[in-house]
Structure 1
Amino acid sequence: MTAGITVYWRPGCTYCIKLRTQLRLARIPYRKVNIWRDPDAAAFVRSVADRNETVPTVRVTSAGGRESVMTNPSLAQVKQALAV
């Protein structure tokens, strides 16, 4: 399984901007998905965020194949999940 990060975001979300900037500055590649343009992504976010569209929601698949989903994580939390 390939390690990776998906950031579910929406326009205007300052928390999303902050996390995406931190990931770029740390040179950590990620995929971004705008939940306002992708109904399936919005449904996924609602399924893991108590029926809310809380962003950023981040899905991390570690090099070891472990998947975790976090809502509004810190950069340190994302790095930790990626390393497991």
Structure 2
Amino acid sequence: MTRAWILPMLLLVCGSLVATMLAVRGFPGAAVPLLLMFVLLAGLNSPLTFPRSIGAVEAQRRSAVDGRPIVYWRAGCTYCLRLRIRLGRSARRLHWVDIWRDPAGASVVRAANHGDETVPTVVVAGRPHVNPDPEWVRAQLSRST
């Protein structure tokens, strides 16, 4: 299991334990919504919420060809999730690099952030932007196509 799945699995296990405890104590009506909330939180914090990640080298190659921004992210990052949700369907048109799965991506982020792995870092035309406004990213995406 990779680091990206630790938080979602922990949420599922904790939610299951709490819901089971509530159900055993005679509160099944409270257990079901609580379990659903934990499942939703686990899903939102999992890599499944994001488009398929590619390697940093491949993302840079594709971005050079089509001009689309590259988003460096990691699972469990609240700001990455905010960016992903606010971009909606247009998020699929970006190049996503999971820095926990790609060491080259992590080094790009560290180089852009003075040694820190601050995400999301969006690279547009070779310039990094740390935690940019989702509307700005959408505007950059519309310029590239």
Which category describes the TM-score, using the shorter chain as reference length? Answer: 0.7 to 0.9
- List runs of 5+ in structure 2 lacking aligned partners: 1-64
The residue number in structure 2 matching 1:54 is: 118
Instruction: Name whichever structure is richer in helix by fraction.
Output: 2
Give the CA deviation at 1:80. Answer: 4.3
Asked if 2 retains the 8 angstrom alpha-carbon contact of 1:8 and 1:45, the reply is yes
Report 1:1-84 matches (<5 A). 1-25=65-89, 27-28=90-91, 29-61=93-125, 67-82=126-141, 83=143
CA distance in 2, matches of 1:68, 1:24: 23
Moved over 4 A (4+): none
Count of residues in correspondence between the two structures? 78
- List runs of 5+ in structure 1 lacking aligned partners: 62-66
TM-score (norm 1): 0.78
Instruction: Name whichever structure is richer in strand by fraction.
Output: 1
Which structure has the bigger radius of gyration?
Answer: 2
Instruction: Report the identity percentage.
Output: 41
**Most deviating of 31-40 and 70-79:** 70-79
TM-score (norm 2): 0.48
Asked if 2 retains the 8 angstrom alpha-carbon contact of 1:60 and 1:68, the reply is yes
What is the aligned-residue RMSD (CA, Å)? 1.9
